[in-house]
Amino acid sequence: MIEPCRFPPDFVWGTATAALQIEGAADLDGKGPSIWDDFCRRFPERIHERSHPEVACDHYHRWAEDVGWMRRLGHSGYRFSLSWPRLLPQGRGAVNQAGLDFYDRLVDALLEQGIAPNVTLYHWDLPLALQSWENPEILEAWLEYAELCFRHFGDRVKLWSTLNEPGWSTMHGYLTGLHPPCQRDPRRALQVAHNLLWAHSRAVALYHRIWGRPEPGQGIGIALNLSPVHPASDSPQDAEAARLADGLLNRWFLEPVLLGRYPEEVLEFLRACGSAPRGHLDFAEPASQGGSAADSNPTVDWLGVNYYLPHHATADAPTTDFHLNISGDPQEASRFSIQGLFRFVQNPRGRYTDWNWEVDPDSLHEILLRIRDLRRLPVYVTENGIGLPDRLCEGQVEDSSRIAYVTGHLQAVHRAMQEGVDVRGYYMWSLMDNFSWLNGYRKRYGLLYVDRQTLQRTPKRSASWFAELARTGVLHGPEPASPS
- Name the active-site residue from 23, 165, 255, 285: 165
**Which CB atom, from 107 or from 428, has the smaller least distance to ligand NOJ?**
428
**Active site annotation includes 479:** no
By CB under 6 A, the residues from 281 to 310 that bind ligand NOJ are: 306
Please pick, from the candidates 15, 164, 170, 227, the single residue that binds ligand NOJ as defined by CB under 6 A.
164
Closest separation between CB of residue 162 and ligand NOJ, Å?
Answer: 14
Shortest gap between Cβ of 382 and ligand NOJ (angstroms)? 8
Report if residue 429 touches ligand NOJ, rule: CB under 6 A: yes
For ligand NOJ, give the closer residue by CB, 125 or 238. Answer: 125
Q: What's the DSSP call for residue 59?
A: H
Residue 120 interacts with ligand NOJ (CB under 6 A): yes or no: no
Q: Which of 23, 255, 285, 383 is catalytic?
A: 383
Closest distance between ligand NOJ and the C-beta of residue 416, in Å?
Answer: 20
- Shortest Å distance, C-beta 425 to ligand NOJ: 17
Residue 436 interacting with ligand NOJ (CB under 6 A)? yes
Nearer to ligand NOJ, 21 or 363 (CB): 21
Q: Which is nearer to ligand NOJ, 24 or 277 (CB)?
A: 24
DSSP assignment of 324-363:
---S--TTS--EEEETTTEEE---TT--B-TT--B--HHH
- Cβ pair 204, 303 in contact under 8 A: no
Beta carbons of 220 and 162 less than 8 angstroms apart: yes
CB 355 within 8 A of CB 325: yes
Is the dihedral angle over the CA atoms 381, 200, 109, 154 positive or is it negative?
positive
CB 255 within 8 A of CB 226: no
Name the minimum Å distance from CB 306 to ligand NOJ: 5
Instruction: Give dist(CA 408, CA 429) in Å, integer.
Output: 15
Q: Residue 187 in contact with residue 247, Cβ under 8 Å?
A: no
Q: Which of 165, 107, 122, 136 is nearest to 36 (CA)?
A: 122
How many other C-beta atoms lie within 10 A of the C-beta of residue 114? Answer: 10
Contact yes or no for 337/390 (Cβ under 8 A): no
Decide: is 255 part of the binding site for ligand NOJ (CB under 6 A): no
Q: At residue 24, what are phi and psi to the nearest 5 degrees?
A: 70, -150
User: How far apart, in whole angstroms, are the C-alpha atoms of residue 282 and residue 287?
Assistant: 14
Minimum gap (Å) between residue 442 Cβ and ligand NOJ? 12
> What is the C-alpha to C-alpha distance for residues 25 and 443, in angstroms, rounded to an integer?
22
- Residue 23 touching ligand NOJ (CB under 6 A): no
Active site residue 165: yes
Q: Omega into 389 within 30° of 0, i.e. cis? A: no
CB of 369 to ligand NOJ, least distance (A): 22
CB-wise, 18 or 35, nearer to ligand NOJ?
18
Three-class DSSP category at 89: coil
The distance between the two most distant Cα atoms of the chain, rounded to a whole number of Å, is 72
Q: Please identify which residue in 37, 66, 125, 165 interacts with ligand NOJ, judged by CB under 6 A.
A: 165
Q: Does 356 bind ligand NOJ (CB under 6 A)?
A: no
As measured in angstroms, the least distance from the Cβ of 318 to ligand NOJ is 29
Q: Does 18 bind ligand NOJ (CB under 6 A)?
A: yes
Tell me how far apart the alpha carbons of residues 354 and 416 are, in angstroms, rounded to a whole number: 28
Please pick, from the candidates 383, 399, 422, 433, the single residue that binds ligand NOJ as defined by CB under 6 A.
383
> How far is Cα 47 from Cα 316, in angstroms, rounded to an integer?
30
Q: How many chain residues interact with ligand NOJ (CB under 6 A)?
A: 8
What Å distances lie between residue 286 and 170, 282, 292, 298, 437, CA to CA?
Answer: 25, 10, 8, 11, 37
Which helix (DSSP H) or strand (DSSP E) does residue 230 occupy?
strand 229-231
Binders of ligand NOJ among residues 309 to 348 (CB under 6 A) are none
**Residues with catalytic annotation?**
165, 383
Binding site for ligand NOJ (CB under 6 A): 18, 21, 164-165, 306, 383, 429, 436
